[in-house]
Amino acid sequence: MKSVIVLVGIVLLSLCVAGSSTANARGHLYVFQYENVLGTSLELKVAALSEAQSEKAEQAALAEIDREAHILSSWDPRSEFSNWFRTKDRPVRVSPELFEVFSLFDKWREMTGGALDPSAETITRVWKRAAAEKRLPTQSELDAAVVSVRRVHWTLDPVNQTATHTSDAPLALNSFVKSYIAGRAADAALNASGAQGLVINIGGDLIVRGDWQEPIDVSDPKSDAENGAPIAHLIVRDRAVATSGDYRRGVEIEGRHYSHIVDPRTGMPADQIISSTVIAQSPAITGALATAFSVLTPEESARVAASVPGVEYLLVKKDGERIVSAGWSSYEATPAPRMAMRTPAATYKMVSSQSGGAKWDPKYELTVSIELSLIEGYRIHRPYVAVWIEDENHAPVRTISVWFGKYKYLNELRAWSRDESTRSTSEDTHILNSVSSATRPPGKYTFQWDGKDDAGNPVKAGKYNVMIEAAREHGSYQLLHQEMDFNGSPKQFQFPGGIEIASATIDYHKIVQ
């Protein structure tokens, strides 16, 4: 058990080395993970002198997120925005935060030529309604929605700080508001705690603040797996990073996926840019431009970016072509290799996985999908989770993912950490990675196994055990395991739900090219 803790300590140490050397000479890295935060997940990393200081930062960040959501949420009927929305044609004095967000929407609506608009929700509803009826929207429905979008939805009086609601179009303060809230939460956490640095990641939108630099992976829009190979590795200090894309949300109509990102100018879902990542000092700028750049042409995006100092971006087109801004490369870095110790037994295991018998068919992969148990409307701590593969004799072959907060409690994952020998981890094992990606629904995660062991060697075809474990600190526990024969014949298994994992599916299938 001690050696397992040593391994995780080394992983954490490597993360700290990638961060600020001066900060980590004095402090430690603390990690807090939640589900059901602003409709997605939250990961908070705090570089602090003590656990008490990190918890102070955590509480300040959560309190600010709650405060801002109560002002800006489009989905909470009791929020300030929702109360304002129910008014019509009369000036209403609003909070500084709501007034600022309204002003920013006006700014970005003009700068992007209408590609960013709070009334895009009008078009989104047309597509959702049509999908529910298993049909495409009619042109007349789309034309009517676009006419509604083009109206003036509010007027602002900066002297009296009032906003007058002037249209009946559905409005949703999406696009950059998640990043805006994350930035204000980061500032509140640093100011309240005196922590050295922190990272807030809300659903793939990240803020890095203080005396800290963070390695960040940018998700591949063509792979929904948490442990999929990223399309870029970044090193970021005192910046915000946001990614928008069509690959996690949208509607299915007649077997075709349509993005949730729509072009307010045409009523059509955006489909030429499948991922856009923006780096800037301001969180609101990253969120706004990541959404707008998913709608605009690359040439239009370049013109907008040139008008905003300090903005860098990466666009991925539908055909896979990458387009980067002139200064993007200044943030890219080769990822530092994860450090791991291997015992002779582990080395023997890796050698034996290569010897004799037919190898894993490279045309196949295993997908592991899990959905955590959530309580609707309530923020909850994410449990510690491990996903790994064992051979027929229950010897570890591949650790796919390990999530944890305080590594001193990692042994709560008692099945994953039961071996006295040190476990190995491969380069793509998902351990505390900071990842910028399109926003996912809360609690839903997907992982892939390519049939290789932790050393990157193909395993033999045959029977293996797929293991999924979830635990809370001195609390509830759940272990799922299923033997599968990986012999080139597709198969799928659905686990029954439990206290921590509501559902899980393992799917051995041919890779779709």
- The DSSP line for 428-465 is T-EES-EEE-S---TTEEEEEE-SB-TTSPBPBSEEEE
Q: What is the pLDDT of residue 206?
A: 97
Whether 75 has a pLDDT exceeding 60, the answer reads yes
455-494 pLDDT per residue, tens: 899 999 999 999 999 999 878 999 999 999 999 999 999 9
Burial of 21 (0-12, 13-18, 19+ CB in 10 A): exposed
Whether 8 has a pLDDT exceeding 50, the answer reads no
Residues 307 and 289: beta-carbon distance below 8 Å? no
Indicate the pLDDT class of residue 246, thresholds 50, 70 and 90.
confident
Mean pLDDT of 24-53: 89
Which of these, 196, 140, 232, 151, lies nearest to 434 by C-alpha position?
Answer: 232
Burial of 362 (0-12, 13-18, 19+ CB in 10 A): exposed
Q: What is the pLDDT of residue 57?
A: 98
Which of these, 72, 42, 58, 46, lies nearest to 203 by C-alpha position?
Answer: 42
Which pair of structure tokens corresponds to residue 501?
Answer: 């994992």
Q: What is the pLDDT of residue 249?
A: 79
Cβ count near 385 (within 10 Å): 23
Name which of 338-352, 378-392, 437-451 the model is least confident about: 338-352
Name which of 17-26, 76-85, 171-180 the model is least confident about: 17-26
Whether 416 has a pLDDT exceeding 60, the answer reads yes
Q: What is the pLDDT of residue 341?
A: 35
Name which of 126-140, 330-344, 356-370 the model is least confident about: 330-344
Q: What is the pLDDT of residue 68?
A: 97
Residues 121 and 198: beta-carbon distance below 8 Å? no
Q: What is the distance between the terminal CA atoms of the chain, rounded to a whole angstrom?
A: 42
Name which of 12-16, 155-159, 271-275, 453-457 the model is least confident about: 12-16
Whether 207 has a pLDDT exceeding 50, the answer reads yes
Q: Taking phi first (over 0 means left), then psi (-120 to 50 degrees means alpha), and beta for anything else, what does residue 195 get? A: beta
Mean pLDDT of 384-397: 93
Q: What is the pLDDT of residue 251?
A: 87
Q: What percent of the chain lies above the pLDDT cut of 70?
A: 87
Name which of 354-358, 473-477, 501-505 the model is least confident about: 354-358
User: What are the two backbone dihedrals, phi and then psi, of residue 243, each rounded to the nearest 5 degrees?
Assistant: -125, 135
Indicate the pLDDT class of residue 424, thresholds 50, 70 and 90.
low
Whether this model's pTM surpasses 0.75: yes
Q: For residues 398 and 16, which has the higher predicted lDDT (pLDDT)?
A: 398
Which of these, 446, 369, 405, lies nearest to 34 by C-alpha position?
Answer: 405
Cβ count near 46 (within 10 Å): 29
Q: What is the pLDDT of residue 17?
A: 38
Mean pLDDT of 88-105: 98
Q: For residues 94 and 421, which has the higher predicted lDDT (pLDDT)?
A: 94
Q: What is the pLDDT of residue 345?
A: 39
Task: Determine the length of the chain.
Answer: 513
Mean pLDDT of 206-215: 96
Q: Which residue has the tokens 């030529």?
A: 113
Indicate the pLDDT class of residue 234, thresholds 50, 70 and 90.
very high
For residue 149, what is the enclosing H or E element? Answer: helix 139-149
Residues 370 and 385: beta-carbon distance below 8 Å? yes
Which pair of structure tokens corresponds to residue 10?
Answer: 């080394």
Name which of 115-124, 287-296, 432-441, 490-499 the model is least confident about: 432-441
How far, in whole angstroms, is CA 412 from its chain's centroid?
Answer: 25
Cα torsion for 91, 95, 98, 101, to the nearest 10°? Answer: 100
What whole-number distance in Å separates Cα of residue 388 and Cα of residue 470? 12
Residues 416 and 402: beta-carbon distance below 8 Å? yes
User: What are the two backbone dihedrals, phi and then psi, of residue 283, each rounded to the nearest 5 degrees?
Assistant: -60, -40
| DSSP secondary structure code for residue 129 in this structure | H
Indicate the pLDDT class of residue 24, thresholds 50, 70 and 90.
very low
Q: Where are the alpha helices (DSSP H) in 167-233?
A: 177-193
Q: What is the pLDDT of residue 351?
A: 42
What whole-number distance in Å separates Cα of residue 328 and Cα of residue 316? 14
The SS3 of residue 503 is strand
Name which of 182-196, 308-322, 412-426, 435-449 the model is least confident about: 412-426
User: Regarding beta strands 434-436 and 213-218, do their DSSP bridges make them parallel or antiparallel, or are they unpaired?
Assistant: parallel
Per domain, the residue ranges of the chain are: 344-510
Name which of 83-92, 406-415, 488-497 the model is least confident about: 406-415
Q: CATH number of the domain at 344-510, please?
A: 2.60.40.4070
Average pLDDT, the chain: 88
Mean pLDDT of 248-275: 90
Q: What is the pLDDT of residue 222?
A: 87
Indicate the pLDDT class of residue 509, thresholds 50, 70 and 90.
very high
Which of these, 390, 373, 366, 361, lies nearest to 493 by C-alpha position?
Answer: 366
Q: Which residue has the tokens 């299915």?
A: 252
Q: What is the pLDDT of residue 350?
A: 44
Whether 13 has a pLDDT exceeding 60, the answer reads no
Residues 45 and 186: beta-carbon distance below 8 Å? no
Three-state SS string over 32-68 comes to EEEEEECCEEEEEEEEECCHHHHHHHHHHHHHHHHHH
Indicate the pLDDT class of residue 26, thresholds 50, 70 and 90.
low
Q: What is the pLDDT of residue 377?
A: 82
Q: What percent of the chain lies above the pLDDT cut of 90?
A: 74
Whether 352 has a pLDDT exceeding 80, the answer reads no
Name which of 91-105, 339-353, 476-490 the model is least confident about: 339-353
Mean pLDDT of 181-201: 97
